[in-house]
Amino acid sequence: MKWRCSVCNYLYDEDKEGNPFLELPSEWRCPICSAPKSAFSQVGGETVTDPNAPTVADKMVAQLSELGVKYVFGMPGDSILPLVDSLSRQDKIKFILTRHEETGSLMASAYGKLTGELSCCLSIAGPGATNMMTGLVDAATDKAPVLALMGQVAQAFLGSEYLQEIDEIEIFSPIAVFAESVSSPSQAINLTITAAKKALINMGSAVLSLPTDVLAMPLIDDIWEMDKHVFKQRIQPPEEEVKKAAELINKAKRPLIFGGWGIRECGEEVIEFAEKINAAIATTTRVKGIVHETHPLVVGVLGSVGTRFAAKTVAKADLLIVLGSGFRQRNLLPDIPIIQVDIDGTRIGRMFPVSVGLHGDAHATLKMLIEHVKPKKGDQKFLAEVGKLKKLHQAEIDGYAADRSVPINPGYVVTSIKRYADGDALITVDSGDHTYWFYKNYVCEGERTLMSANMACIGFAFPASMAAQLVYPDRQVICVNGDGGFGQLMADFTTAVREELPVKVIVFNDGKIKNIAKEQAMYGYPVFGISFPNPDFAKFAESCGGVGYRITTPDELDRAFEEGFKLDRPVLFDVLVDPDKMSPVVKSA
């Protein structure tokens, strides 16, 4: 038999070569263009294929497993069925069915944020693919490694306005770090590896468009070993630049460390650095909990949803050391020298002027800074002021904890969560007025938090809580929601029940999108279009097979939390909070 390369037309003649083509080793390549065996097709006669031969879908699933993928989130359907079938015939990757593709993509984004490992979501072509957009944008902007597997109509129908046909590459390229179509079996393994590497190294969303006919084609290529093709490295800035930064730090009397997402793996080193130079520490919302907020030097979250006490502390500093953040709220930063460390060099100096910019991984750079700076006692007056502001902040929190008014004060709910949360709880927080209440008044002492930071995506927290429970099956996972955010994807409460994920969902129920009302008032618009009738969320949870509590008073809240937090089942707390109490926005020190 003769076999022709589809890339360069090289002809492999078995009579001349003396070996049957199908018996060539899997790593054999075209001697002219280096195309893989899968790029060859038989010339003339009936193509010899093994009916039990693995398909493109089988090989892609095996390759994803080799890459360490443990879950695929999403919904099956016509154009992606070969891949779903392959998932059903193996036991290394678990398919998590969701009721909505947005839930699946948000779960994938949250999983990527929590682990730093490749996460996958899946959908059919057309509306299934577009429903994943929100989660993929969240992953793209919050730097989470996600691979989206999108079904596509068969190649014969591309360009013919076939049912559910859309140009997936055109639509998703603006937000993806990589977007390609697997148009032939010979591309499958290479593109799967390339997409995974782009997602992992560039930290964002990668997209593979998968025509259903290609997924079902046979593929003889071997999968690639991960440790020979995928490598992670920590980028470090030049030592001379680190020395410049150290000189500035050594001269400063009131340095302040401001940590962003870059410090998520190095909380202990941040504390070590702060104690060595006697610097106060503020953080962004994304890393609330990375450093214990009861530490004498930690002043909490800086930002519009943070505390005015953190803003006041920053205003008194004479040097700002920004670790792994491109902080956009310039109005909260004083006009002082700034050292900025970021793994993305384009973000250094983008939002504020910088005295020394260090392009590198925050963890690796921080270790270098610790070695180069000199120990200092610090400005005792400044440090005393930090202590005073921390006490004022705690007094404010204590005031909310003592407020047993009805309707329930949102601040009371936050302090109650603190009383019943485990010391290592993971708390996912949605976007809304409750976000402000939580980040201002919850003091982390080992608990970790997770949110949609750059997109502030309403609806994120509940899917994220399910992903978090998969990552940490033995830890308490708490989901802090508004009624607006939970209402968007509440149908997937059945997913938590089916997968036996004992998440604790707290809904701040005020019958309105309160944060929008706050923004309308802040910008001088009349309050309009922000109220809606709510169902009984507690009864809804029970109808799904979970546990629900309807709460109207502080006493009911205490009893429900005392009982519900102990249950090993999905639990929803429907808390009717005061619709008129809004948490303020921090605009300046």
**What's the pLDDT at 46?**
53
- DSSP-assigned beta bridge partners for residue 322: 258, 340
Q: Is the pLDDT of residue 56 over 70?
A: yes
Question: Which runs of E-coded beta strand occur in 252-343?
Answer: 255-259, 280-283, 298-301, 319-323, 338-342
Of 332, 330, 368, 363, the C-alpha closest to 349 is: 330
Calculate the average pLDDT of the chain.
95
Two tokens at 175?
Answer: 């937000």
What whole-number distance in Å separates Cα of residue 134 and Cα of residue 283? 26
Mean pLDDT of the region 167-181? 97
Task: Determine whether domain 403-576 maps to CATH 3.40.50.970.
Answer: yes
- Give the sign of the dihedral formed by CA 17, CA 44, CA 22, CA 227: positive
Listed by start position, the domains of the chain span: 2-43, 56-225, 239-384, 403-576
Q: For 71, phi and psi rounded to 5 degrees?
A: -135, 150
Do 56-225 and 239-384 come out as alike in CATH topology?
Answer: yes
Give, in order, the Cα–Cα distances in Å from 297 to each of 68, 233, 294, 310, 459. Answer: 39, 31, 8, 11, 34
Amino acid at residue number 508: F
Q: Is the pLDDT of residue 544 over 60?
A: yes
Two tokens at 582?
Answer: 């809004």
Task: Determine whether domain 2-43 maps to CATH 3.20.20.70.
Answer: no
**What's the pLDDT at 51?**
65
Q: Is the pLDDT of residue 539 over 80?
A: yes
Strand order, beta sheet including 205-211: 94-97, 71-74, 119-123, 146-152, 205-211, 178-181
Contact call for residues 282 and 314 (beta carbons, < 8 A): yes
Q: Is the pLDDT of residue 48 over 60?
A: no
**pLDDT above 70 covers what percent of the chain?**
99
Determine how many CB atoms are found less than 10 A away from the CB of residue 534.
18
Instruction: Work out the end-to-end distance of the chain between its first and last CA atoms, rounded to an integer number of angstroms.
Output: 79
Give the CA diameter of the chain.
Answer: 91
Mean pLDDT of the region 3-30? 90
Mean pLDDT of the region 158-164? 84
**What's the pLDDT at 230?**
86
Strand order, beta sheet including 426-429: 448-451, 426-429, 477-482, 504-509, 571-576, 547-551
Superfamily of 56-225 according to CATH: Thiamin diphosphate (ThDP)-binding fold, Pyr/PP domains (3.40.50.970)
In CATH, what is the architecture of 239-384? Answer: 3-Layer(aba) Sandwich (3.40)
Contact call for residues 177 and 198 (beta carbons, < 8 A): yes
- Residue 328 binned pLDDT confidence (cut-offs 50, 70, 90): confident
